[in-house]
Amino acid sequence: MKRERFVTRWWVGWLAVLLLGLAGCGDKPLEPLAQDDTILAFGDSLTEGVGAAPQAAYPEQLAALTGHPVVNAGVAGETTAEGLDRLPNVLDRHDPALMILLMGGNDVLRNQDLGEAKRNLGRMIEIARSRDIAVVLVGVPEKSLFSRSAPLYEELAAFYEVVLVEDLVASLLRRPGYKSDAVHLNADGYRAMAERLAEALRDAGAL
């Protein structure tokens, strides 16, 4: 009987340790942003807000939704190679706590080497990480803008262990009411993008 009670207590103790360990696995992937921390929105025309008024671009709408300053560092037409060259100076200027990286669409549209695009995006993540800047990666569709995000985004997110918002752009571009043309959003589309990104930041623990 004593041995049975000992075994029972041992299993109860072991189960408690296991449950504590599983609880630890539920930790959020991002640290909470301080009240005055800056978010950097880095990308191309979908970040700049082509297709809508400047105040309707997703970074401006995200700032209103989160209460955090959000820098719009989007440059229309930019490739990942050009973005990689530009990024260090942008980080020097704004010193963000978190970067939302949405880039690669122009590489796709210009039929550039997606292996090179993947390396460029990986280097951007590494540069941000070297400065203790958290990264949220946003996936971009392949050549068909109605497809799912290119596989390279999921591969990058897994390798660098960053938060991925995978099919946001693809899902918005499937909805004519959210588009200003074939590849850009309108004000409603950018609003939906900002709302989804705010939700992703909350889910990941940043907000």
Q: What is the pLDDT of residues 31-68, one digit of tens each?
A: 999 999 999 999 999 999 999 999 999 999 999 999 99
pLDDT of residue 142: 85
DSSP 150: P
Q: Which domains does the chain have, with CATH numbers?
A: 34-204 (3.40.50.1110)
- Which runs of E-coded beta strand occur in the chain? 39-43, 70-74, 98-102, 134-138, 163-165
Q: Are strands 163-165 and 70-74 parallel, antiparallel or unpaired?
A: unpaired
Q: Which residues does 153 contact at the CB level (< 8 Å), separation at least 6?
A: 104, 121, 137, 138, 139, 140, 164, 166
C-beta separation of 118 from 142 below 8 A: no
Q: Is the pLDDT of residue 156 over 90?
A: yes
Instruction: Provide the residue type at 93 as one letter.
Output: R
pLDDT of residue 148: 82
Using alpha carbons, select from 183, 178, 177, 92 the residue that is nearest to residue 142.
Answer: 183
pLDDT of residue 146: 53
Q: What is the pLDDT of residues 78-104, one digit of tens each?
A: 999 999 999 999 999 999 999 999 999
Residue 73 tokens, joined: 């560092």
- Whole-model pTM: value is 0.86
User: Is residue 185 helix, strand or coil?
Assistant: strand
pLDDT of residue 27: 81
